[in-house]
């Protein structure tokens, strides 16, 4: 199905559910450093995309534990999957998914994704993951669909199992679930579209020349030519006060904004409001007690910017956020704070002339 040959055998290790959880826990600390995620937790709470009591790192641990039923490690070339006792359709789907990762890695070097993550290139990392997981989902689906003993219901069940879906995700905020599942769902749609119009060669090209924004994955017709506008936010800590300093910064893409808006608005409104994305970033500061965040976005046109402004204003009103939203041409700036007093200071800091 993949149209490629393995350059060398893949080391495959079956484990039970407890063994899979141990594998995940073993790599979790290195992949999700506590200090970094403690800072991001505070920023996301202040924006309002996760509840005030949520710990982002703990939520990610909860999502992964019991969710992951297989993985492939590009660093070691090792494939691990959860064996239930018989090689049923769900296990065949998981194996096909992970074996696609293995053959993709042997030809296209998937370790490049680790470099993006280490460099904190948030948007490029998410987009690349969408292409990689989309490829694995696409070819695994093709393998199972061509099995004559498989009916449609079994295939849908296998895909859900392949995503690692489980019923109990209590304690994992919807925003986190959305971001974690996105590479598998929208990534699949991206690769399916490429394969439909350009065949396997188009899929191979996407793994050589990885998409750089989630916009390109959501809208395959914009890959690879639609590149974003650079967005900058100055350091406002000195204007906020002597004790203020940097807390967190992150590139914010179309998928992140869409997932944010869908927390309080219907899906069609959110997707329409973010479809004209052209760049984005947030920057957060703290004095050790209070928090201030500026989220600035660029849009393809002033009309697109105005549509996002309307949607984000409705989003703020629906959630009662301590925030403001303003537009200047095709740029929209959102300001969030831990208190009304801090928001007033932040608004003044944004408006103050540079220099």
**What does the pLDDT look like over 118-133, one tens digit per residue?**
999 999 999 999 999 9
Lay out the sheet containing 291-299: strands in order across.
Answer: 245-251, 277-286, 291-299, 331-337, 323-328
Per domain, the residue ranges of the chain are 11-222, 237-351
Q: In 3D, which of 101, 95, 105 has the Cα closest to residue 136?
A: 101
What pLDDT shows up at residue 158?
54
CA end-to-end span of the chain, whole Å? 59
Mark 156-177 as b/e (b = at least 16 C-beta within 10 Å).
ebbbebbbbeeeebeebbebbe
- What pLDDT band is residue 88 in, cutting at 50, 70 and 90? confident
Q: How far apart are CA 100 and CA 107, in angstroms?
A: 11
CA 289 – CA 244 distance, rounded (Å): 10
Q: pLDDT tens, 167-222? A: 467 789 999 999 999 999 999 999 999 999 999 999 999 999 999 999 999 999 99
With a cut of 90, say whether residue 164 has pLDDT above it: no
Task: Return d(Cα 278, Cα 226) in angstroms, integer.
Answer: 9
CA 169 – CA 349 distance, rounded (Å): 40
Backbone angles phi and psi of 111, in degrees to 5: -65, -15
CB 6 within 8 A of CB 215: no
**55-61: long-range contacts, CB 8 A cutoff, minimum separation 24:** 56/176, 57/32, 58/171, 59/171, 59/172, 59/173, 59/176, 60/32, 60/176, 60/180, 61/28, 61/32
User: By the 8 A CB rule, do 59 and 66 touch?
Assistant: no
Q: pLDDT exceeding 70 applies to what percent of the chain?
A: 94
Which residue from 339, 304, 305 is spatially nearest to 321, judged by alpha carbons?
Answer: 339
């Amino acid at each position: 199905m993949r149209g490629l040959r393995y350059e060398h055998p893949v080391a495959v290790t079956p484990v039970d559910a407890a063994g899979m959880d141990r594998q995940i826990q073993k790599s979790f600390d290195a992949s999700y450093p506590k200090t970094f995620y403690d800072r991001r937790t505070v920023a996301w709470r202040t924006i309002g995309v996760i509840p005030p009591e949520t710990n982002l790192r703990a939520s990610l641990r909860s999502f992964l534990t019991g969710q992951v039923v297989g993985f492939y490690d590009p660093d070691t070339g090792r494939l691990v999957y959860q064996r239930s006792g018989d090689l049923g359709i769900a296990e065949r789907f998981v194996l096909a998914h992970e074996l696609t990762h293995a053959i993709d890695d042997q030809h296209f070097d998937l370790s490049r994704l680790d470099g993006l993550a280490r460099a904190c290139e948030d948007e490029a990392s998410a987009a690349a993951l969408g292409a990689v997981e989309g490829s694995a989902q696409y070819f695994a689906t093709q393998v199972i669909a061509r099995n004559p003993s498989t009916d449609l219901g079994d295939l849908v069940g296998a895909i859900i199992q392949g995503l690692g879906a489980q019923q109990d995700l209590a304690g994992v905020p919807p925003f986190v679930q959305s971001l974690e599942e996105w590479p598998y769902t929208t990534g699949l749609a991206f690769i399916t579209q490429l394969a439909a119009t350009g065949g396997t060669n188009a899929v191979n090209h996407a793994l050589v020349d990885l998409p750089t924004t989630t916009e390109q994955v959501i809208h395959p017709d914009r890959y690879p030519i639609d590149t974003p506008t650079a967005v900058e936010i100055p350091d406002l800590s000195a204007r906020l006060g002597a004790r203020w300093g940097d807390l967190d910064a992150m590139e914010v893409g179309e998928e992140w904004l869409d997932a944010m808006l869908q927390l309080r608005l219907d899906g069609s409104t959110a997707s329409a409001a973010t479809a004209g994305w052209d760049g984005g970033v947030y920057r957060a500061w703290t004095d050790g007690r209070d928090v201030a965040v500026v989220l600035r976005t660029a849009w393809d046109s002033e009309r697109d910017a105005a549509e996002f402004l309307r949607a984000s204003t409705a989003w703020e009103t629906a959630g009662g956020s301590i925030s403001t939203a303003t537009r200047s041409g095709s740029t929209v700036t959102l300001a969030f704070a831990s208190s009304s007093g801090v928001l007033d200071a932040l608004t003044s800091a944004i408006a103050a002339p540079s220099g």
